[in-house]
């Protein structure tokens, strides 16, 4: 197999292309009924369902199953405590009602990022649809809740303090604009990092395929080590990006929960 065919094989593994599995005709057009994007969501639901099945208390569980259940419970408890500290630190006890939502978003994004590295699996968060929807719905709620909760004080977030009067209109416009693009910035940050990670692995994988074609033992060993290091790094980036996304939501919520008075 020549290098071009190796590259073609590697490129076929890219998780960015939406592939339709089931189609149906509709008024002269062919619409997608089920795709690899939908399969990714079903896989995510399966993993969450598996978590609740494993963690559910049952006296008849084997010792190994209880060990897995306890380990998962400890991880979840640690995550819950971390986000509880963040949310209450940003918004106080008043904003505690947002904790389940922010925690669910973190778990959703984190798990979907991790399972996107399953071979031939679709990278859900490399496309705008889901991250943009999550960010838009959450920020839209904050825009509605802010004035209801704080009245006119909510709009004081956009009025700068301790600046010359002549600069207040300009800075106010900038503050409103920066507030409005939060949804887009959250989405772009997540999508760009996930997309870059998969592209990096695709490039490294293509290089390693070419190295293996050369049958050079030393280079093969070095390349495998580099690939494993990059994979570990990218898995860490998956969790970090989900964490950053959720933490920024918690930070943004403070404007609506505790507006400037």
Q: What is the DSSP string of 52-106?
A: HHHHS--TT--HHHHHHHHHHHHHHHHHHHHHHHHHHHHHTGGGGGGHHHHHHHH
pLDDT above 70 covers what percent of the chain? 77
pLDDT for 34: 63
Higher per-residue confidence, 201 vs 186: 186
**152 in Cβ contact with 259 (< 8 Å):** no
Q: Across 51-60, 152-161, 165-174, 179-188, which has the greatest mean pLDDT?
A: 179-188
CA–CA separation, 103 and 64 (whole Å): 28
pLDDT for 33: 57
Average pLDDT, the chain: 78
Does position 1 have pLDDT exceeding 80, yes or no?
no
**107 in Cβ contact with 39 (< 8 Å):** no
For the ranges 66-70, 126-130, 166-170, the lowest mean pLDDT is seen at: 66-70
Does position 11 have pLDDT exceeding 70, yes or no?
no
pLDDT for 5: 47
Query: Which residues contact residue 103 at a Cβ distance below 8 angstroms, ignoring those fewer than 6 apart?
Result: 79, 80, 83, 246
pLDDT for 159: 79
| pTM for this model (two decimals) | 0.79
pLDDT for 25: 58
Does position 133 have pLDDT exceeding 70, yes or no?
yes
Taking residues 149-160, report their average pLDDT.
79
Number of other CB atoms surrounding residue 175 within 10 Å: 14
Higher per-residue confidence, 74 vs 242: 242
């Amino acid at each position: 197999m020549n290098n071009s065919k190796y590259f073609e094989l590697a490129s076929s593994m890219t998780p960015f292309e939406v592939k339709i599995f089931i189609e149906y005709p509709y008024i002269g057009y062919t619409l997608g009924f089920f795709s690899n994007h939908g399969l990714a969501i079903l896989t995510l639901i399966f993993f969450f369902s598996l978590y609740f099945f494993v963690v559910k208390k049952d006296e008849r569980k084997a010792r190994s199953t209880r060990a897995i259940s306890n380990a998962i419970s400890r991880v979840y408890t640690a995550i819950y405590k971390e986000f509880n500290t963040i949310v209450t630190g940003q918004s106080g006890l008043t904003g505690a009602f947002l904790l389940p939502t922010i925690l669910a978003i973190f778990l959703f994004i984190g798990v979907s990022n991790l399972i996107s590295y399953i071979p031939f699996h679709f990278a859900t968060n490399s496309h705008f649809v889901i991250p943009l929807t999550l960010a838009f719905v959450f920020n839209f709620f904050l825009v509605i809740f802010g004035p209801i909760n704080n009245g006119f004080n909510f709009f004081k977030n956009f009025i700068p303090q301790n600046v010359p009067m002549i600069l207040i209109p300009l800075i106010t416009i900038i503050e409103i604009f920066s507030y409005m693009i939060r949804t887009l910035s959250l989405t772009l940050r997540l999508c760009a990092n996930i997309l870059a990670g998969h592209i990096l692995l695709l490039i490294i994988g293509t290089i390693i395929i070419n190295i293996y074609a050369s049958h050079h033992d030393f280079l093969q060993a070095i390349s495998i080590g580099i690939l494993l290091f990059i994979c570990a790094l990218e898995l860490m980036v998956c969790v970090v990006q989900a964490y950053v996304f959720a933490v920024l939501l918690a930070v943004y919520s403070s404007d609506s929960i505790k507006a400037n008075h």
